């Protein structure tokens, strides 16, 4: 891919990146956020690590929200606030998202924050849960797959990711039926962390998933999908 295409892809991803925040008291949310960032009113312009973000009133919610099974949450009416990218500059998407997630974790820790949504994958979770999982990543731990990548049924007894593609151009398709969905989800979360760290899969390979053994993974659909299963590839 040439440089212009890469820049275009980064611009597109940046334009889609958005965290939305629900507060228990939507009326008070703006005052809480404005005070936390030392501003006078929304919108607030933020510059972090060479990227420019805007914190403002939310325009709408999350289309087809994917709620985190491990952290069910009742959404208040809203959302109230959203964090978007004004200018990604020279930031690559993974670095930009890491910075953006740090800001989101700061907002999620504010008084009255109830839930956080990531529009790229449609994930929605409680604010405390988001702060904890995101904070672990920002401190050098595992990628926060549960809050940044959604898992959906693939119609064949397995799971498929939604929202992983920005990190390497691929989503994961798990062909693990009849393994129970909770077990498949654990494998998927570990695989997401592995793929974000190691990058795109270009050839069939064996990976070891801690606690579950060895799996074969390989690219499909012109490399846009990573196929994962226990049995050997044909």
Strand order from edge to edge, sheet including 44-48: 44-48, 51-57, 81-87, 18-23, 113-118, 123-126, 66-67
Q: Which residue has the tokens 């998933």?
A: 209
For residues 126 and 121, give the distance between their C-alpha atoms in angstroms, rounded to a whole number: 16
> Among 128, 118, 130, which residue's Cα sits nearest to residue 61?
118
Give the model confidence (pLDDT) of 67-107 as tens digits: 887 788 988 888 899 999 998 777 788 889 999 999 999 99
Q: First CA to last CA across the chain, in angstroms?
A: 30
Confidence at residue 70, expressed as pLDDT on a 0 to 100 scale = 76
Pairing of strands 205-209, 213-220: antiparallel
Percent of residues, the chain, with pLDDT higher than 90: 65
pTM for the whole structure = 0.89
């Amino acid at each position: 891919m040439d440089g212009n295409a890469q820049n275009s892809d980064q611009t597109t991803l940046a334009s889609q990146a958005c965290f939305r925040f629900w507060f228990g008291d939507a009326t008070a949310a703006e005052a809480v956020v404005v005070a936390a960032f030392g501003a006078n009113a929304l919108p607030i312009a933020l510059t972090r690590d060479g990227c420019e973000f805007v914190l403002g009133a939310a325009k709408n919610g999350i289309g087809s929200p994917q709620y985190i099974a491990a952290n069910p949450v009742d959404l208040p009416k809203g959302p109230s606030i959203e964090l978007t990218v004004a200018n990604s500059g020279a930031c690559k998407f993974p670095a930009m998202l890491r910075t953006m997630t740090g800001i989101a974790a700061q907002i999620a820790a504010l008084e009255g924050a109830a839930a956080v949504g990531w529009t790229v994958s449609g994930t929605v979770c409680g604010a405390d849960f988001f702060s904890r999982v995101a904070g672990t990543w920002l401190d050098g731990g595992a990628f926060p797959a549960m809050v940044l990548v959604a898992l959906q049924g693939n119609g064949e007894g397995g799971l498929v990711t939604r929202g992983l593609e920005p990190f390497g151009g691929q989503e994961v398709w798990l062909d693990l039926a009849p393994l129970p969905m909770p077990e498949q989800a654990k494998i998927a979360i570990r695989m997401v962390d592995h793929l974000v760290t190691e990058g795109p899969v270009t050839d069939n390979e064996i990976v070891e998933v801690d606690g579950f053994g060895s799996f074969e993974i390989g690219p499909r659909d012109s490399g846009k999908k990573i196929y994962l299963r226990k049995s050997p590839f044909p």
